[in-house]
Structure 1
Amino acid sequence: MAAGKPQGLATWEQKMERLRRRSLPERVLRICDNAALRAEYDEARRAADRARVLARSDADNGLLAERAAETGRRYDAAAAALRTASIHLTFRALPRPVLEELLHTHPPTDEQAADGSAFNPNTFPAALISASSTDGMTEAEARELLDAWSAPDANALWEAAWEVQQEARTDRTDLGKG
């Protein structure tokens, strides 16, 4: 504590410094076109989950414990194979003023605004994907992917960039009535 400062002030300065150092939320979109690897991963995860539940239900059963360990190793191997075969795209939340400016530069048309849109759905998604991409994706590349991919895949790309903008990392716990 600095000399002459009340304890509360030193505590606030420490809190403020921690608040300034917070990183923005990130979200990763994993893309894997290898259906066999995805299926193996899903099956290995389910088998490992089942084996763990069974092993916990009878903690003295060594056979169940060994089965849980075996399926856990299979799951770890499947997860590693899936990670290796996947493309990972990372999106980071934008500071609020940057997001607001991006929204401002992609306003809805009158018709879109009448339908309740807060932004132009034809231009804003690619701009947001590019702006929040930590991988360096350009707006033209984002537009290319949005236009070329199937609707579910394009939606997953858009949602990864949009949802990280909405992610709160605060706990607004209600501690009771004042």
Structure 2
Amino acid sequence: MASCICISAGVRCGAFLVSGRLAALGAAFCCAQNAYALPGDTQTQIVNPGLVTNATSLDFGSVIAGTVQSRLRIPPTSDSIVVSAGNAIPVGGTVSRARFDVVAAPLTFVFINLPSNIQLTRVAGTDQMLLDQFQQSGLPFQIMGPSGQLSFYVGGRLRVNPSQASGLYQGNFTVTVNFL
């Protein structure tokens, strides 16, 4: 272990101060007498950058279409449906916000990105409905806690067209989680 202290104006070694172009030569010369070889330890841990799973789906349940375009919303804060416009009627079935579980190293920064909109398509048909205004619980930029686990919820707004054809409508949306 050398007993040199590097400073911005030069290199100080013992009682000598060498500056300018001779700094490296002077440091090597004066420090060579005080150099020691000591073993050092090193280690590293390889961690998975993260794992994201979709624990529950975004489900609007059963709805009777109205005579005007209706907007139904599931907030990211509860498993409930709200009619925000129009005269469509929710009539039961399973209503749930989507839940995503994240596992990563503690104190990892995560940035969550939601889609702007998607189309739901009627199974065995071509009729569609727009799902937009996706929202998540919490902030889009979060820090993993000490447990290395984080869950967040996603809701959105469904536009039910007037006299929408009966049937099951399905679609997929992508949530992107970046680990920083």
TM-score, normalized by length of structure 1? Answer: 0.21
More helix by share: 1
Q: Rg bigger for which structure?
A: 2
TM-score, normalized by length of structure 2? Answer: 0.21
More strand by share: 2
